[in-house]
Every structure is written in C-alpha cells, then in structure tokens.
Structure 1
Amino acid sequence: MASLFASLWSIPQAAIAAGNASGYFRLGEQRIEPRHAVAVQADSEAAPGEAETWIYLSVSPFDAAPVAAAFDPDDGVREQASDEPSGSYVKLCVTADGHECGIDFAHRGPTRNFSSGGHGELALVAQTPQRIAGTFKLPEAEDFFEETYQFDLTFDVGLTPPPGTALPAGGGEPGKAYQIYLTALAQGDFDVLRELAGESGAYRFPQDDPTSAKETLKSLRDEQPVVAEIARGRVNGDQAVLWVKGEDRDDIMRAGRVLMKRTDAGWRFEEAELDAVD
C-alpha cells in the first residue's frame, strides 16, 4: 500500500484534482447547493493505509493542490474560501474502510459553522487511491438546538494525495532536528532552544527574564514526547511531516504528526498534532 501511495505522488495534481458535486445542505435558513469537490488524504495515522479521506463539497471551486499540501487540509480550504456565500462548503470525512467519520458545514456571509457525526446514510460506489464517489443523505430533518438540518449530497472526485517523497528511516535530517529539539526541551537547554527558534528565540527565551523563559519552556513541554520514535516521514520542498510516538513528562503516550520547516539555518520544529493513545 505504501508503494502505491508513493507512486501516486508523481501524478500531476491537475489530473486528479477536479471533481463534481450536487445536492444540498441546509441548516436552519442557510442552504447551499455545492457543485464542486476536491478530496485529499488526511494522513494523520502512522500507517499510510489508514488515512482518512476528507471531501470538500463547495459552491465555488477550490484548488486541491494547496489543500493536499497543507499540514491541516482545513487551513488549505479556509485560505481559499471567500467571505461571500459563494465561499460556503461542506466537508465529509470517510475512513479508509468506507465509513462516515463526520460532516462539517461552513457557511459564509453570514458565517455559520456546524459539525456532526454518526448521522446520515453514506453509500459509496467507488473508493480507490485514485477516486471516491457516492452519496451521503439525511432523509429526515434532525434538530440542532432550535433549528433543523438536512442534507442530500452526491460526489464523484479524484483523490489528491499529499505531495512529496518518503524520508529514510528515522526521518532523515528533519527527524534528527526534531530529536535535538526534544532533547533541548527535556534538558531545559535555553542556548540550543534560542538557536533552534531563530529570530523568535531572543524574545521567547529572554536571557534577562528567566521566569518568562521558564514559562515558555513549560508550555512547549506540554504534551510533547521526551524521546520520540519516528515511524515514517515525508518531505515536500522546505516542509517535512514526521509521524512520531513517545511518552511525555507525565508518562502519557503521545502519537501523531509533527511539522518541520527548513530555514537557512537548517530544519526547525514548527508545530505538532499529537493525541494521547493507549
């Protein structure tokens, strides 16, 4: 499966990005009728074959490439969605084994947001690494506080995988930089942290204000592994994603993704999306 996903990275994005949608989503008086769709892998799991598919059904078309490349695909969509009603969209989450894992509604002008899960009937007619198609319906309106919502959506869209190439075992240079960062956090090595933080290091870890520096250190340590096992990694230009796992300072196992960015001074930790796991 991993080699199949790797081969898909070489497919031109424009060849697989376009998709069609029809139907409607209604929340109270806000209703949209999407006509466009993009689908990307929300590649948050350590095993590539477990990736969820996030389908964005929109009134106006989105460019799938920046959505697939974003650390959080939602950010890639929000950056393209206008503040007008034409920027409204529905996001449908589908698991690797073909089950619904949530639906979100983002209405623009006025702004309304809605999230739900476990409601509606999903029927897929295609789910391959190249394409996903089907319907998602809520035949009878359901209550949402003092309003009702209902939807009947159809989609047929090519799947745009995350761009990039696989990193070697241990995460390569981005993985080494992340381990150095974790060691500096664990040891409270402010000199190394200032260097790793680049221009922001001087004010994040001020030498003349040890109390402020320690507060920053404490917040950065929260929910970060003390030592991490890097299951795999992917690099795309100056951005790398690592899939990591390790115990934090409270002996809680954390697992998820880490975003690293390359600067003139080398790879730097950018952000993490880690959850507590058994």
Structure 2
Amino acid sequence: MSFDVDTWIELVKDCKYIPENDFKQLCEKVSEIFLEESNVQFVSTPVTVCGDIHGQFYDLEELFRTGGQVADTKYVFLGDFVDRGYYSLETLTRLLLLKLKYSDRIVLLRGNHETRQITQVYGFYDECISKYGNANAWRYCCKVFDLMTVAALIDGQILCVHGGLSPEINTLDQIRTIDRNQEIPHKGAFCDLVWSDPEDLDSGYGTKAWNISPRGAGWLFGKQVVDEFIHINDLKLICRAHQLVQEGYKYMFDDTLITVWSAPNYCYRCGNIAAILEINSVSSKNTKLFNAVPDNERKTPPRNMSPYFL
C-alpha cells in the first residue's frame, strides 16, 4: 500500500497506530521537513502554544476540540510528546501525520523526553516493543527526535522553548548555532534549553542568578536572568512547559515568563487542569483551560502493559 496521509490521519484519530513500514515512511518524510527548519523557527500570529502531552492521546484530542483543528488553528507544541502516558506511539504518530499534512501550521519543539536515554526509562521504548514486537519504530523515532527544532519565535518577540534558559546563551543567535542533530547532551546550552526551570531565587535559594537544578540537568534561573535575556533580545515573553502546573498555566517574573501545561490529570492521577495559550498578537493573549476526558470515553490498555509512570 502506498503511503496515504489522509487515510492514516483518519485511522489514527481513533487511537490506532499504523503498520511498521508505513511508520518508517512517515518518519522519513517528516525528517525531511524538520531538516528545513531553523533552530529558532519563526512563527507568525495568530498561533496557539501547547505544553507537555506525555502520551495522553485522548486528552490531546480534547486539546484540539478546545483550541481548534490544525486545519483551522496554527500550533506550537513545546515538546514531551511521549513517555508516562499509555499511548505515546499513537500520540506521536498523530502529531507527525499532522506535521506532514500541515507542515506550516504546526511546530513541534523537542523536549527532554525526546531522547534515547529518557524514553528507555519512562515508557516509550517499552511501548514500541509491546506494540510492534521490536525496537525498529523506536529507532525511527529517535532519528526524528534528533531533527526536531529547539525553539520557536512568535512575531519576533515571544520565545518558545521546552525548559528554559542557559548561562551559555545570551542571544537568540547562539541558539541558532547549536548542532541539534544529536542526542541531547548531559550538560551545556542544548541540554539547558530542554531541562532548566524558572525559580523565585529570592526565596530560599539566595539571590544568585543561576542555581543547581534538583533534576540533575539544566539550571534554576530567576527574574534577573529573564529580565536580561528579554532586554538583550528585544522580547516580550518566554513561553515554556516542562513543569506540572495544577492550574494549567502560571505566569512569573511580572508576566515575562509563562509555563503552559497541556496534560490534564497528569499520569491519570494528579488531578490538574490543562491549558493552551492562544496568542492573537504580542499584546493579546488568552489562556484556554480543559479537563481530562472522562474514563468512560477513553480506552485503557490491558493490565499486562508496562506501568509506565511507577
């Protein structure tokens, strides 16, 4: 069967995955698109920014019901598409198919979970083995992960990254020079962009600009760092994900940074709301909240599947 993107888009909507050979073709076709994208991919408004998804397929569909389908709404996803949820494979397949069909309407940034090492620990590798019977699909995905871009710039003034800032990066041009086609290193600028977190460093952490992150990678950074970065690069806002927020979103540092979280009832037990951020212009933004899809409207895999989030 020749690869028919519209046929597969319709099939995958029902939380199904596609045959291995077709999946390989999908990864190859999407890789060609990613190769053309800049490390700092320019995006114009209006656009909707989404946080972590983590394999929660049915909640991704609720996100699209809340924000609009990709044919009608332009999206930036901030990474962490896989791991922890039951349906990482179907979730990633859904997003890659949309990227293939609507390449200029959806930007997929790389998160700290889009790596070989992390996916072998938090579920995606095991899920690929369980569903395909081998690790080929996982290997195809890892090559795709290596090509995903690391940042988006909305109207030249809103920077989107998965995690945060880095002491090694003062300008957007320094992000543009990163060699992203690799496994994310354990330290350095590339690592920091996907691992770092904002923190009020005046309360309990002292007033240093950077502090050691309890995650073991990246840094904690405070308002001083954000203010300087925004001033140097003529920005208005930094959008990032990476941290669970019970209310779905959280502004910090006089509204110069926002965390967006788009996995409701994270790990099927955290009870949080999810959010997406609609950006109509640099000065006009609107958060939309949504809840997890009720249990009776989602399939739960059989118990012999790996318990990914233990």
Q: Which has the higher helix share?
A: 2
**Bigger relative contact order, structure 1 or 2 (CA pairs below 8 A, ≥6 apart):** 2
Structure 1 or 2, whichever has the larger Rg, is 1
The TM-score with structure 2 as length reference comes to: 0.22
Instruction: Give the TM-score normalised by structure 1.
Output: 0.24
